[in-house]
Amino acid sequence: MTRAVTPSGKTHLRRSLLFVPGSSPAMMMAAPFLGADSIVLDLEDSVPASEKDSARVLVVKALDSIDFRGAEKVVRVNSAGSGLLKADVEAVASRADTILLPKADVESLGRLAALLACAQHAQVIALIETATGLEEAFACARAARVTGLFLGAEDLTLDMGMERTREGDEIFYARWRVVAAAAAARVASIDTPYTDMSDEEGLRRDLQVTRRLGFTGRACIHPLQVEIVHEALRPDQAAVEWARRVIRADEDARAKGTGAVTLDGRMIDAPIVARAHHVLDRAATYERREVRD
């Protein structure tokens, strides 16, 4: 499972990224107690234009003052085209673990990297939410400091003139493309938030797609979504048991010097063994995190 490593050597598992408006002190204070792996203090869409200056100051003070209890401290800055990127980055870069760049593409990630020159530790998550960003997804994933790709389906469908539906068929290609690019670059892949906050069943159904496609995490826009995301992405007991049997069968075969090995009538080869190790690795990581929580 892809994780982000902070300068202090701390490893962040990015199953859930919880958005908190950068203009709301009460929500920022509550955020560390909601169990999210990453807390995104938002300076972009949740902050009205008239409050950008105020939110920037508040987020700086919050980063200096709040104990985020081990969660990754992410700040979503304003986009390169907003005219606010430089001021945002200069204010928060030395305090946050990670900068989330909206409307990311190769050019804007280059501008961000230049602005981050004095913040040695800062990581970047690229928010892929334009047609250009999607077409450049792999290059974005390989850009300087990038440790994650994040699909933003609402802005992407708007940019592409697509109809946005509850079923989400229209974003299947984008999801697939983002996961593939992130996997190829060995960075985290974060799925778009489920925007109907009152529909928990809908979120659970949609998370099956997140999981099947191999996303490493999902964005949350309401505290109630955090635990649902963790539950859905946790390897289930049957998968863990299967993985243990595969690894046992593989070890037995190696000990006996046998080439091919079968389990329940199916051939076990290198990719299957690797998948089994991946499942156990993920299960162990979840277990460690849950003990900590």
Any contact of residue 20 with other proteins (CB under 8 A)? Answer: no
Which positions from 196 through 215 interact with other proteins, judged by CB under 8 A?
none
CB atoms within 10 A of CB 68: 17
The single residue among 5, 7, 10, 25 that binds other proteins, judged by CB under 8 A, is 25
Q: What are phi and psi of 8, to 5 degrees?
A: -80, 0
* H-type alpha helices, the chain: 25-30, 52-65, 85-92, 106-115, 131-135, 137-141, 153-159, 172-185, 200-213, 223-233, 237-256, 270-292
Nearer to other proteins, 57 or 118 (CB): 57
DSSP line for 174-192: HHHHHHHHHHHHT-EEEEP
Interaction mask 54-93, other proteins, x per CB under 8 A:
x--xx-xxx-xxx---------------------------
Considering beta carbons, is residue 66 or 113 the nearer one to other proteins? Answer: 66
Which is it for the CA torsion 121, 84, 55, 146, positive or negative?
negative
- For residues 212 and 19, give the distance between their C-alpha atoms in angstroms, rounded to a whole number: 24
Q: How far apart are CA 121 and CA 100, in angstroms?
A: 14
Output the smallest distance, CB 276 to other proteins, in A: 48
* Residue 164 binds to other proteins (criterion: CB under 8 A): no
Of 5, 11, 53, 69, the one binding other proteins (CB under 8 A) is 53
Cβ atoms within 10 Å, residue 118: 10
Q: Does 237 bind other proteins (CB under 8 A)?
A: no
Nearer to other proteins by Cβ, of 96 and 137: the residue is 96
Of 51-59, 77-85, 129-137, 276-284, the window that binds other proteins (rule: CB under 8 A) is 51-59
Which among 27, 18, 119 has a CA at the least distance from the CA of 71?
A: 18
Interface with other proteins includes 241 (CB under 8 A)?
Answer: no
User: Residues touching other proteins: how many (CB under 8 A)?
Assistant: 17
Binding site for other proteins (CB under 8 A): 24-26, 29, 50-54, 57-58, 60-62, 64-66
